[in-house]
Amino acid sequence: DQQVKQNSPSLSVQEGRISILNCDYTNSMFDYFLWYKKYPAEGPTFLISISSIKDKNEDGRFTVFLNKSAKHLSLHIVPSQPGDSAVYFCAASAGNNDMRFGAGTRLTVKP
Amino acid sequence: SAVISQKPSRDICQRGTSLTIQCQVDSQVTMMFWYRQQPGQSLTLIATANQGSEATYESGFVIDKFPISRPNLTFSTLTVSNMSPEDSSIYLCSVVSWGKNTEAFFGQGTRLTVV
């Protein structure tokens, strides 16, 4: 059962433009959401998170938006840079038990 | 934060053999998680390993195929047994820091190819 879904396997944007990565979830018990970035041959690294009590969290060029009623979150990267090219995973947790991940979206930022 | 050392980073194994993956954490943690990422698939949770008790496996994963050891609070191993090409995947161990700013930390991953 895929509780966290990233329906776009890939995304390509021009340097300097906005990258928007989307994530949907089905479990209404999820109360904490995270985005991870993964380069080849490395483990995922934490990027940004948001609690279910908020609808927006911003950290530099990265902003995560949460729409609880739609069970949808998105990651915005502005402006996008070639070094942002990686696979991005959306994750969700419900309490202190486990963490579920989406399939990932491969972002390519073209110079 | 937590630093996790995972090894081997990659291996090519013969069908029918077994491979043990090790993860060492630089701090004591109660729960460690093992994930698998098959090509084009999500990070799929295999099992949760608690020190002093048997691992809890997710649907579709069984102890005979993926035995896990958790001898202390800083170390865990995952064995992929009787391997077939379908087991070719990236395997990752993880720990989670729960709290106000929940965050998961990952090992570098083990890229397994079964031939």
Q: For residue A43, what pLDDT is reported? A: 82
Q: In which band, very low, low, confident or very high, does the pLDDT at B19 lie, cut at 50, 70 and 90?
A: very high
pLDDT at A79 over 70: yes
Residues of chain B with Cβ-Cβ distance to A4 below 8 Å are 42
Burial of B85 (C-beta count, 10 Å sphere; 0-12/13-18/19+): exposed
**Chain segment A15-53, per-residue pLDDT in tens:** 999 999 999 999 999 999 999 998 877 888 889 999 999
Rg of chain A taking only CA atoms, in angstroms: 13
Q: In which band, very low, low, confident or very high, does the pLDDT at A54 lie, cut at 50, 70 and 90?
A: very high
Q: For residue A64, what pLDDT is reported? A: 97
What does the alpha-carbon distance between residue A90 and residue B95 come to, in Å, rounded to a whole number?
Answer: 17
Q: Give chain B's mean pLDDT.
A: 90
pLDDT at A96 over 70: no
> CB distance from B9 to chain A under 8 Å?
yes
CA atoms within 13 A on the CB side of A6: 29
Residue of A7, A23, A31, A38 to mutate for B, most B C-beta atoms under 10 A? A38
Residue found under tokens 């491969």:
A106
Q: Which of A6, A36, A98 sits opposite B33 (nearest CB)?
A: A98
Q: Which of A99, A102, A104 sits opposite B104 (nearest CB)?
A: A99
Q: For residue A41, what pLDDT is reported? A: 73
Query: What is the pLDDT averaged over residues A79-95?
Result: 92
Q: For residue B104, what pLDDT is reported? A: 82
- Residue pair B81/B66 in contact by the 8 Å Cβ criterion: yes
The answer to whether the Cβ–Cβ distance between B103 and A46 falls below 8 Å is: yes
**Chain segment B30-64, per-residue pLDDT in tens:** 889 999 988 767 788 899 898 878 898 988 999 99
Residue of B43, B96, B106, B111 to mutate for A, most A C-beta atoms under 10 A? B43
Q: For residue A101, what pLDDT is reported? A: 87
> CB distance from A99 to chain B under 8 Å?
yes
- Residue pair B48/B63 in contact by the 8 Å Cβ criterion: no
